[in-house]
Amino acid sequence: MPLPSGLVTCLHQHQSSFMVKFQLELLFHIIGIGSASGLIYKGDSVFIISDSSNALFEYNIKTQALEKTSLDGNPITDNIAKKAKADYEAIAHYGDDFYIFGSGSTPNRNKMVQVNTQTQTIKTVDLSYLYSLMQSFGSIKPEDFNIEGVVFTGEQWYFLQRGNGKSAQNGIFTVNGKNLENDFTVLYNAYKLPKIKGVRSSFTDAVLVDGQLYFIACAEDSASTYDDGEVLGSLIGSVNLETMKIQKTLQISNKQKIEGLTLYQTTTDQLEFLLCEDNDTHVLESNIYKLSVRK
C-alpha cells in the first residue's frame, strides 16, 4: 500500500544553467514489484517494468490496485536468475502502444516487446541486428553495451547507451526507419557526463518534454554492465534535440540509483517527474518519487 507522501530530500543548488530549487518526494511505496527499471505515467496509472521480471506492471493510483501482464507468454516470475533474465531496462510509449526493451548487455537481452493496451496484443521483436550495428557504429565493445533508456516520438527513436562499462561510453543513438528489425538508419552522439564522488555518471532513462530530452544518470562504482556496484548518487539533465548538446545538469541524490523517469505534470514554470529506484535486491518493494524542478 502507498505510504503518505513524505519529503525525502529538499536541496537548493545552482548547477550549470539549472536555476532551480528542487524537491524529491516519496509518492508511492508499492509492494509486489522489485528492481524497478522504468516507468510511464498514463491516465490514472503508472506502468512499471522490472529488470528481474517478465511482467509489465500497472499500478492504478486511484484504486491502489496492481496488475501484471506477462511479456513472454510464460507465467510471471518476480525474480528471474540473472543469467536467464531478459533484463528489461527501458520502456517507451506512443499512443496505446508500450515498447519494452532488453538492455543488450548479453545475447539473451536483445528483445523488444510491444504491448497494445487496448487490444492486449503482444509482439516480440528481435533487436540483435540493430544492437550489433549500434555497437559497431558507436565503437562500443559488446561487454560495454547497455541500453537503459528509450524515447519514441512516433517517428524517431532515441536509445540511451549507459556508459557503466570499463570504457564509460555514454551516448544517444537516433534511429529512423520503418521498423527496428531491418529497415532503419542510425546516428550516434557520445557524451561525457558529470562525475559524482569521483565516478562518472551514466544514462539510466529519459523522457521528451517540449523538444528537450530530459535524462536521468546514475554514478555506480563498478566497471561492469553486468555486476552492480556502490551507488554514489543520481542527477537529472537535458539535451537539446536540435543541437544534441547537453543544456544543464543537476544532482538530485547522493545515494539513490534512479533508473526510471516519466513526465507527471507541467506548469508554466515547473516540471514534475515521476522516478523509480532500482534497489538491486530481491525484495518485492518499489519506491516511486516525485521530482519537481523549475524549467
Q: Supply the pLDDT for residue 6.
A: 31
Q: Supply the pLDDT for residue 16.
A: 44
Task: Enter the pTM of the model.
Answer: 0.90
Residuewise pLDDT in 10s, the chain (295 residues): 333 333 333 332 334 444 457 899 999 999 999 999 999 999 999 999 999 999 999 999 999 999 999 999 999 999 999 999 999 999 999 999 999 999 999 999 999 999 998 999 999 999 999 999 999 999 999 999 999 999 999 999 999 999 988 888 999 999 999 999 999 999 999 999 999 999 999 999 999 999 999 999 999 886 655 566 788 999 999 999 999 999 999 999 998 889 999 999 999 889 999 999 987 678 999 999 999 998 8
Q: Supply the pLDDT for residue 226.
A: 57
Q: Supply the pLDDT for residue 220.
A: 86
Cell of 175: 534511429
- In this structure, what DSSP letter does residue 107 have? G
C-alpha triplet 210, 190, 252: angle, nearest 5°: 55
Distance from C-alpha of 45 to C-alpha of 264, rounded to nearest angstrom: 11
- In this structure, what DSSP letter does residue 2 have? P
Beta bridge partners of 70: 55
CB 185 within 8 A of CB 175: yes
* CA distances in angstroms from 256 to 34, 116, 152, 162, 237, listed in the order given: 15, 32, 26, 17, 16
Give the residue from 4, 56, 58 showing the smallest Cα distance to 29: 4
Q: Supply the pLDDT for residue 2.
A: 36
Contacts of 183 (CB under 8 A, 6+ apart): 177
